[in-house]
Amino acid sequence: MLCNSVLNISFLLTFICPVVIASGSPNLEGYPNQLKLSKFTRVGNKLYHFSRSKANWFKANLICRSMGGYLAAFDNQQEFEELTDYLENEYSTYRWWWISGSDLDSEGNFYWYRTGKPVIYAEWSLGQPDNAGGNEDCMHLWYSMYKYRMNDWNCNMDAFYICEAIVPSTVMISRLDE
């Protein structure tokens, strides 16, 4: 019976179940903070939620988690441009948007909140990050020099925010001898 259920743990595949076939399954049952897909929009290969209200960076993180996602992050120029092109086409260029990066742990060293990995691709506004006032530790997008760019800003300020859906991988397990 155990080997016929949807599992998230590959350990069972190797050590407990007899010969199995694995296939992808979008089943999200039991996933904490179950993903609310209806609130997300596909942009490129990712799913995003664009807030209609403002919150500080910390609250925005909590709201994204409650939706089954995290504040948005990107690993390369293509992901950044897909997201910022969408913002330019769909929203006012006067909005500021929280994203996941911060240097809360180490000034000047920005990391993505969800993964803890360093921000590798960054398209900062001119002269940024500057830690103005000594308290700008969170990343947001703003429209500067005719396109969206990154800036560091006080985490306690309110801005719109972008959540990114993190869809868990699940595997459907079945026995070959059935």
Show pLDDT as tens, one digit a residue, over the chain (178 residues): 334 333 332 332 233 333 332 333 333 333 344 566 778 999 999 999 999 999 999 999 999 999 999 999 999 999 999 999 999 999 989 999 999 999 999 999 999 999 999 999 999 999 999 999 999 999 999 999 999 999 999 999 999 999 999 765 555 566 666 5
Cβ neighbours, 10 Å, residue 141: 25
Q: Tokens for 117, please give them.
A: 């990995």
| Among 161, 141, 137, residue whose Cα is nearest residue 149 | 141
Classify 84 as helix, strand or coil.
Answer: helix
Report how far residue 46's alpha carbon sits from residue 86's, in angstroms, rounded to the nearest whole number.
12
- Amino acid 31: pLDDT: 39
Q: Which residue has the tokens 């260029």?
A: 93
Report how far residue 41's alpha carbon sits from residue 47's, in angstroms, rounded to the nearest whole number.
5
Classify 156 as helix, strand or coil.
Answer: coil
**Rounded to two decimals, what is the model's pTM?**
0.75
Cβ atoms of 36 and 46 within 8 Å: the answer is: no
Report how far residue 20's alpha carbon sits from residue 177's, in angstroms, rounded to the nearest whole number.
9
- Amino acid 37: pLDDT: 72
Cβ-based burial of 120 (10 A; exposed 0-12, middle 13-18, buried ≥19): exposed
Question: Which domains, from first to last, does the chain contain?
Answer: 30-169 (3.10.100.10)
